[in-house]
Amino acid sequence: MSETQSVDPETLIALAENERKTLVERMPQWLLVLLFGAAIVGVWQGAVSYSGISELVLPGPYQVLQDLIFTLKNLFSGGYVAHATWITLVEVVFGFALASAIGLTLGMIIGATAFGRKAIMPYVVAINTMPKVAFAPLFVAWFGFGIESKIMMAAFISFFPVTINTAAGLAATDSSMAMLFRSLEANRWQTLIKLQMPFATPYIFAGLKLAAVWSVIGVVVGEYMGGGEGLGELVRVAASQLRVGRVFAQILLLSLMGLSVFGFVTLLERYFVRWKK
Amino acid sequence: MHAPRPDGAPILRLTNVNKHYRRARQGQSDIIHAAKDVSFDLERGQLASLVGASGCGKSTVLKMIAGLIPATGGEIQLKGDKLTGPNEQIGIMFQQPTLLPWRSVLENVLLPIEIREGRGAAKAARDRAMQLLQMAGLAEFAHAVPGELSGGMAQRAAICRMLVTQPELLLLDEPFGALDEFTREQMNVEFERICRSREATAIIVTHSIQEAVFLADAVFVMSPRPGRIIKRIEIDLPRPRTSDMITSTRFNDYVREIHDLLFGGEKEAAHV
Ligand SMILES: Nc1ncnc2c1ncn2[C@@H]1O[C@H](COP(=O)(O)OP(=O)(O)OP(=O)(O)O)[C@@H](O)[C@H]1O
Ligand SMILES: [Mg+2]
C-alpha cells in the first residue's frame, strides 16, 4: 500500500482503466488482424488435412501460396498471365472511361434539364432494377468475342452510379449560391459549369468509385461469357481443370486491378475535391 | 460621374409594392403578406436601413428590389426605369457569405466580373479586386480558400465581391449579423466610408437598432403581418459617423424612438 501511495494519481487511474479493459481492447489492431488471419489459415489447413476433402476441391494454404508465387512470377516475367492481365486492364480502363463519359453526360442531362429529369430518369431507374449481368450473352452476340463486348458490358454495368450521383449532385446545389448566380444574371450554362458541376464533384466521385469496382465485375462477366484472352478466361479455364489454387491467385490479381482503378479515382478526387475538408 | 437625371427621378422608387406567399397547409392554403404597400424613395448617396422583427418581410423586400423574386403588386423603379429582374447596377449581399468553397478568395471576389464580362475582364480586374481585399484587411488571404477564413473574414470577402462591379445600389441583408460587437463596429465605420467615397446608395437590413441609426440617413421601421413600413425616420447626425456618437443624447433619442415603435405596441397590448 505504501508503494502505491507514492505513485501519482494519474498513473493509478490509467492502471485501473487498463485493468478494466479486456486483453483484445489493449492489443494493437495490426496484431489482431494478423492473428485472426493466421487463425483462418490454421483452420483452413486443419480442414484440408483432417476432413479428407480432396486437394482438387479445396487446396491447402501452402498449395495456394505456391500457385500465387507461380502466377506472380509469370506475370512479372511477361508470360501468359502478363498478357491476360494487360488485356483485362485495357478492357477495364476503357469500360470505366466509357461508363464515366456516359454517366456524366446522362447525369448532366437529367440534373440540368426538365426533359431529362422527367423523361429520361424513369428509364435509367428501370434499367438499374434489371439484373444487368443477364444481358451478357446479348453483348457477346452484338459485339463479338473481342474486347469490345467486355468493354460494353463493363460500361453498361457501371454507368448507372455515375449517372445517378451526377444528377443528384447537380440537384443538390446550395440554394443561396444559386440565388447569388441569379443576382449576377448568370445564364444556365454558366450556372452549370461554374456552380453546379463543381458543387457536384464530391457526389460524382462517389459514383466514379462505385463504377471503378463495377467495371471489373462487368469485364469478368463478359469474359466468362465471351471468352477472349483476359484474366476472366484464365479463371474459367483453371476452374474447369480444377486448379483451384490458380483460380484464387488470378482472382487476387483481378482484385488488385479493381483496387488500382479505385485508387486512381481516389487520387483524382483528392485533387479535385481538395476544397472539401 | 453620373449626372442626376434631368427629370430628377430618385435612384430607387418603390410604389405600393406587395408580396404575398401562398402556403398550402392541410389542404387549405393560407396567405402570408410579407410586404404590403411598401413605398419609398431613395436619393443617390443615401444610406437607408431597414429594421423589424424576425419574419416581418425585410429579406423579401430586399430580394424583390434585387429582382430575385417577383412582386405580386406595385412597381420598383431604378433611376426611373421599371425593374423587371436582376440588374448589374444592383449588388446584393445575403445573410450568409455564400462564397464558393472551391475558389480562392480572390477568384470569389472576381466572380461577378467573370460571369458578366468573361474571364478576360476578370483577369484585367485583378488589381482592383486586390485593392478591395487590401481595404478589407484580407490581402494575405487572397489566395486562400474560403474554408480557411473566419466567419467575419468571409463576410468581408463577400462585401468585396459585392463592390467589385461598382454597383450604384447596394443591398445588404444583415451583413454583420454574425460578427461580434467589436468587429461589427469597425465594419460599420469602414462601410460608411466606402459608401460615401463612391457615392453609393445602400439599404442595410439589420436586427440592431443601434447599427441602423449609426449607418443610415433614413431608418425604415417595419412591422410584421402584414409586412408594412410603419415609419421612415430621417437620421440627422453629422457624417462621417464616429464611435463616440453612440453615446450622444441625439443618437439615443433615435434609438429609443425606433425601439418604442418596434416594441411599444406589444407592451400596450399586453396591458389590455
Ligand atoms: N419562399 C417562401 N415561401 C413562403 N413563405 C415565405 C417564403 N419566404 C419567406 N416567407 C415568409 O414571409 C415572411 C417574411 O420572410 P422574410 O424572410 O422576408 O423575413 P425577414 O424579415 O427577413 O426575417 P429575418 O429577420 O428572420 O431574416 C415570413 O413569415 C416567412 O415565413
Ligand atoms: Mg431575413
Residues A47 and A77 in one domain: no
Report whether pLDDT(B3) > 80: no
Report whether pLDDT(A6) > 80: no
CATH code for position A83: 1.10.3720.10
- Lowest mean pLDDT segment, chosen from A12-26, B209-223, B243-257: A12-26
- Lowest mean pLDDT segment, chosen from A83-97, A140-154, A244-258, B256-270: B256-270
Residues A9 and A143 in one domain: no
Whole-number pLDDT of residue B29: 77
Residues A140 and A203 in one domain: yes
**For ligand 1, atom 5: residue with the closest CA:** B21
B62 in Cβ contact with B203 (< 8 Å): yes
For A62-113, write each residue's pLDDT tens digit.
888 999 999 999 999 988 999 999 999 999 999 999 999 999 999 999 999 9
Residue B116: list chain A partners with CB under 8 A: 184-185
Whole-number pLDDT of residue B86: 92
Q: What DSSP letter does each residue of chain A carry, written as one string?
A: -HHHHHS-HHHHHHHHHHHHS-HHHHS-HHHHHHHHHHHHHHHHHHHHHHS---TTTS--HHHHHHHHHHHHHHHHTT-HHHHHHHHHHHHHHHHHHHHHHHHHHHHHHHHH-HHIIIIIHHHHHHHHHS-GGGGHHHHHHHH-SSHHHHHHHHHHHHHHHHHHHHHHHHHT--HHHHHHHHHTT--HHHIIIIIIHHHHHHHHHHHHHHHHHHHHHHHHHHHHHH--SSHHHHHHHHHHTT-HHHHHHHHHHHHHHHHHHHHHHHHHHHHHTTT--
Does A187 map to a domain?
yes
Whole-number pLDDT of residue A275: 83
Domain that residue A193 falls in = 73-272
- Lowest mean pLDDT segment, chosen from A88-102, B20-34, B226-240: B20-34
Residues A83 and A151 in one domain: yes
A108 to chain B nearest CA, in Å? 20
Whole-number pLDDT of residue A15: 67
Considering chain B, what percentage of its residues have pLDDT values greater than 90? 47
Which atom from ligand 1 is nearest to the alpha carbon of B63?
A: 18
Binned at pLDDT 50, 70 and 90, residue A19 comes out as: low
Mutate to test the interface with A, among B60, B83, B89, B100 (most CBs of A within 10 A): B100
Considering chain A, what percentage of its residues have pLDDT values greater than 70? 94
For A33-72, write each residue's pLDDT tens digit.
999 999 999 998 888 888 877 877 888 888 889 999 999 9
Binned at pLDDT 50, 70 and 90, residue A2 comes out as: very low
Considering chain B, what percentage of its residues have pLDDT values greater than 70? 94
Residues A112 and A40 in one domain: no
Mutational pocket test of ligand 1: of B19, B32, B174, the residue with most ligand atoms within 8 Å of the beta carbon: B32
Whole-number pLDDT of residue A55: 78
What is the domain count for chain A?
2
For B121-137, write each residue's pLDDT tens digit.
999 999 999 999 998 88
Residues A135 and A258 in one domain: yes
Residues A31 and A96 in one domain: no
Residues A192 and A112 in one domain: yes
Mutate to test the interface with B, among A184, A188, A195 (most CBs of B within 10 A): A184
CB pairs under 8 A between A and B: 48
Q: Does B96 touch chain A (CB under 8 A)?
A: yes
Residues A78 and A31 in one domain: no
Residues A134 and A259 in one domain: yes
Report whether pLDDT(B164) > 60: yes
Does A67 map to a domain?
no
Whole-number pLDDT of residue B8: 67
Does A146 map to a domain?
yes
